[in-house]
Structure 1
Amino acid sequence: MAPPQQLVLAASSTDAGVAAWDLRTGAEAIRHRTCASRPRALTVVAGRFLAASQAPAGNSAPIHYYHWDKPQVAVKSFPVEPIRALIADPEGSYLIGGGISGDIFFWEVASGELLVQWHAHYRAVRCLALYDFLLISGSEDGSIKVWDLLTMLDEQSRLEAKTQHIYSFNQHALPVTDVACCHGAIAVSSSEDHTCKIWSLSEGRMLRSISFPAITDSVALDPRSHIFYAGGRDGKIYVTAMGIDVTSPSSDDSTIIGALDDHSKAVTSLASSTDGLILISGSEDGNVRVWDTRTQQVIRKFKHSQGPVTNVLLVTPKRVNLPPLQSLRKVCSANGGSESRAVIVPQPENDVQIFGNFSSDFLERCLDALQQPGSSSRLFESGASALYGAPKQQGVEWRSKYLELQDLFVREVLDQMPSPKNT
């Protein structure tokens, strides 16, 4: 049986379309027209289709859907404002967009309904990432915020919360350019201030700040080890260790353990394979490179366009028959307000009725997560426990066990790794 096809995808801020190359053969499989997307604006919806928010052209800045086997746009949606960053959840049930006003939009893919919209930042949202039920957003205002989707999707929880966000990180001095998450509730962000910073999402604090010779516009994590890649505006991809000896200064450049160098201009976008053996890079020089991370050599070279490459992805398409794709709504309901709906889902033992603006599959995932202590720290707080009927004492015990495991992970990453100087 032949292995599933893997595609290298690339998009540009100029109208050069979305190019797709077969990773194994190097042949161009298809080029979707039209598309002009800024960085962090291209996403794959559970391998079933592509979604790309378009750079503003006049008064128009739509979101496009593309099928794998058709070059033309399948669906055009017109949100209320240009969407700067776009991601989908792993199951492909939702699209989350960050607007140029600083608002975040949360759509249900199946219906196109806008479930919730909230003001997240003072300036445009530049990047988004998901970790379990946590949403991380980075902005041009230099801030990073962490949001609990259990709270944001429930109107009553939003009203009762002291602040809508869980954490607000303001240590970056200039716009945040990218953010990525890895196991153990660790996030890495890049910024125009020449630093990448490592964050604990469970403890709500910065673990490390790493300085670079150039501005870094993109980050990708190696799932095999405590390594991340940072794409610089000098054309280099910096190979960076997340952990160093605790005796080293937290901003020590010794954490940069190497560099991949084959681009002539800024590296704007990075993507890693799930096994960490492949790294994809896109650059302002219009080229895409495929790297073998074991040898740190280029194994494929693709030319996308004369303009800059702004987004790269590595995907395994699922060629399935889809129901008609729905355009995304501009507002939550006809009057622009939030519409509360009751949904029928498997109930907890005490038969507490659940209300809110959730779809049933998301609720089922939330209920499953509440029974697993390793999901996300926010799930163990008393508010979530009360909402879903989980005993408060049990929630406290789960949270305590989770934080013990989190402590072990952080110590392993930051304290027990050998210094790059000694490798």
Structure 2
Amino acid sequence: MLSEDFISAICGHPLSSNTAIAKDVGIYCHALSPTYSVKSTFKKSSAPARCLAVSETHVFAAQHEKAYVHVYSRLRGNQEAFVAFPERIRCVTLAGDVLIMGTAEGRVMLWETCTGRLVSTPARHVQAVSCVVATPYHVLTGSDDSDIHVWSLPQLLELDPPAEQEPERTLSNHRAAITSLAASPSVTIDTNFCVSASKDKSCIIWNYQTGDVLRTLLFPSFPLCLSLDPSARAVCVACDDGSLYLTELFADQPLLGPASEDAATVVQVSSPFGAAPPDVGPASCLALSYDGTTLLTGHPKGQILRWDVADNKTPVELANLNAVVTNLVFVPPFSEKKATKTVNIVKPSQAERSYTFAGQLETQLDPVSRFDALLNTPGFSDETLQSAIAAFEQPAATAAESATEQDLRKQNEELWEIINEQRALQKHTLQRYVEAKSSHS
């Protein structure tokens, strides 16, 4: 059975003097299936919402109201580094080996964890960056100023960037602070989209590469956090009144696609999928499993609840962490195939002009020669068999071609015989005509 793991983070002091819960623990690594358990923990961390990023080898946690990021090694199970930055960090995400951070001053900072290179943009947001999400080619930043900037990731990582980094476009239909962002996994300009939540009680679905509004969703209270189904088929939203909403995007009456209504039509979402119990409070974070059947919600009273999306039953309490649960991140069940692996991170530096890449090679960089391929292949290789089959088929093809040429040559000779007979007949007829004409004269 495929195992499911997720990582949670808390923020703030313990809510009660519960001796059953380990002190000074800020990050928990959980196993969800086949049976629930806490696999490991990391201490000395207080990460607010949207300030946790998880890679295959490390956990990055920005600290509450501080310009620090704690880095934990998942391989060794300890805190690896304590990294200071020029500004307070409000949100983080990962794009491969690059940690992307939004600051309280409205900037975007990118840290290449394998080289230590640090890139910082000007303060393009008027207020703090509240959330950030990365796609293979773009970075999206939402802010308390109600704007969403779309940045080109390759341009941000250029070795010789322009003096003034500018976003590609700005999405500015919201009228209040952005509370959450999520992006679809697609990279095609016609099908990729993102969903933004705002304190104006709305969620907007955008085509972020064109800037078009695809659909606007209105809720009874303002959304605190949202998450997209892994296949981008539905969006799950947790609101301030404790209600949870699960909106399908491609149902019988689709919200997106050619069969949907006009994009200007606003959809009022009023039927909740569920509601958090009053004693746990509204969800401060949520996450959907890799198959989209399980929803986890974290709450201010320390509970982590598990919801069954298919059966829509009463939620089950998985754990009580005795502090505000601010982040929930599912660990991908399948490892990403990469040429390198980050074993030790390199602390960021803006003073350096030359950088050294630090990583562990996971694949063979030299191309495999034909001799090596033949040597390591049991029996005959596919290439050798295909060449032999082609060699056997070539004479047959030549024979078929020669037979076709003979038929064409024979047909050509027959046509020339007919043409010559017609010419001889025409010549004989003309001669008879001349003789008849001269006899009458």
TM-score by length of 2: 0.67
1:83 pairs with one of 70, 76, 89 = 89
Q: State the alpha-carbon separation in 1 of the partners of residues 234 and 170 from structure 2.
A: 25
Shift of 1:249: 6.5
On the 8 A contact 2:224/2:284 being kept in 1, the answer is yes
Show structure 2 runs of 5+ residues with no match.
Answer: 14-24, 362-441
Shift of 1:263: 4.2
2:150 pairs with one of 138, 146, 151 = 146
Shift of 1:204: 1.1
Shift of 1:226: 2.9
- Give the percent of matched residue pairs that are identical in Structure 1 and Structure 2: 22
Q: Matched residue of 1:196: which SS? A: strand
Q: Which has the higher contact order (CA 8 A, sep 6+)?
A: 1
Q: State the alpha-carbon separation in 2 of the partners of residues 340 and 199 from structure 1.
A: 39
| Superposition pairs of residues 51-62 of structure 1, within 5 angstroms | 51-56=60-65, 60-62=66-68
| Superposition pairs of residues 104-183 of structure 1, within 5 angstroms | 104-154=108-158, 158=162, 164-182=166-184, 183=186
Q: Matched residue of 1:150: which SS? A: helix
Instruction: Deviation per CA, 1:82-117: give whole Å up to 9, x if none.
Output: 11110111x3x1100001111110111112221343
1:305 pairs with one of 310, 316, 321 = 321
Q: State the alpha-carbon separation in 1 of the partners of residues 135 and 341 from structure 2.
A: 29
One-letter code aligned to 2:196: S
On the 8 A contact 1:235/1:266 being kept in 2, the answer is yes
- For 1:12, the equivalent position in structure 2 comes to 10
On the 8 A contact 2:213/2:263 being kept in 1, the answer is no
- For 2:202, the equivalent position in structure 1 comes to 195
Q: State the alpha-carbon separation in 2 of the partners of residues 94 and 225 from structure 1.
A: 24
| Superposition pairs of residues 381-392 of structure 1, within 5 angstroms | none
- For 2:261, the equivalent position in structure 1 comes to 246
Shift of 1:71: 5.6
- For 1:356, the equivalent position in structure 2 comes to none
Residue 271, structure 1, aligned to residue 298, structure 2: no
Q: Matched residue of 1:325: which SS? A: coil
On the 8 A contact 1:198/1:207 being kept in 2, the answer is yes
Instruction: Deviation per CA, 1:94-147: give whole Å up to 9, x if none.
Output: 100001111110111112221343323111111111122111000011110100
- For 2:52, the equivalent position in structure 1 comes to 42
Q: CA 1:274–1:303 in structure 2 vs 1: closer, same or farther (change >3 Å)?
A: closer
Residue 211, structure 1, aligned to residue 213, structure 2: no
Instruction: Deviation per CA, 1:343-371: give whole Å up to 9, x if none.
Output: 9xxxxxxxxxxxxxxx9x9xxxxxxxxxx
One-letter code aligned to 2:326: T
Residue 260, structure 1, aligned to residue 274, structure 2: yes
Shift of 1:257: 5.2
Instruction: Deviation per CA, 1:269-300: give whole Å up to 9, x if none.
Output: 12222322222211223211222222233675
Instruction: Deviation per CA, 1:331-388: give whole Å up to 9, x if none.
Output: x225xxxx589x9xxxxxxxxxxxxxxx9x9xxxxxxxxxxxxxxxxxxxxxxxxxxx
One-letter code aligned to 2:346: Q
Shift of 1:157: 6.0
Q: CA 1:312–1:103 in structure 2 vs 1: closer, same or farther (change >3 Å)?
A: same
On the 8 A contact 1:50/1:67 being kept in 2, the answer is yes
2:32 pairs with one of 20, 23, 27 = 23
Shift of 1:165: 1.0
- For 1:233, the equivalent position in structure 2 comes to 240
Shift of 1:327: 2.3
Q: CA 1:166–1:249 in structure 2 vs 1: closer, same or farther (change >3 Å)?
A: closer
Residue 33, structure 1, aligned to residue 39, structure 2: no
Shift of 1:236: 1.7
Range moving further from structure 2, 266-275 or 309-318: 309-318
- For 1:66, the equivalent position in structure 2 comes to 72
Q: State the alpha-carbon separation in 2 of the partners of residues 205 and 221 from structure 1.
A: 19
Q: Matched residue of 1:295: which SS? A: coil
Shift of 1:38: 1.1
- For 1:384, the equivalent position in structure 2 comes to none
CA RMSD of aligned residues (A): 2.9
- For 2:374, the equivalent position in structure 1 comes to none
One-letter code aligned to 2:40: I
Q: CA 1:28–1:252 in structure 2 vs 1: closer, same or farther (change >3 Å)?
A: same
One-letter code aligned to 2:227: A
Q: CA 1:298–1:79 in structure 2 vs 1: closer, same or farther (change >3 Å)?
A: farther
- For 1:333, the equivalent position in structure 2 comes to 351
Shift of 1:234: 1.4
Q: State the alpha-carbon separation in 2 of the partners of residues 298 and 66 from structure 1.
A: 35
Show structure 1 runs of 5+ residues with no match.
Answer: 344-358, 362-423
Q: CA 1:21–1:340 in structure 2 vs 1: closer, same or farther (change >3 Å)?
A: closer
Q: CA 1:304–1:84 in structure 2 vs 1: closer, same or farther (change >3 Å)?
A: farther
On the 8 A contact 1:230/1:238 being kept in 2, the answer is yes
Shift of 1:260: 2.3
The number of equivalent residue pairs is 327
TM-score by length of 1: 0.70
Q: CA 1:168–1:263 in structure 2 vs 1: closer, same or farther (change >3 Å)?
A: farther
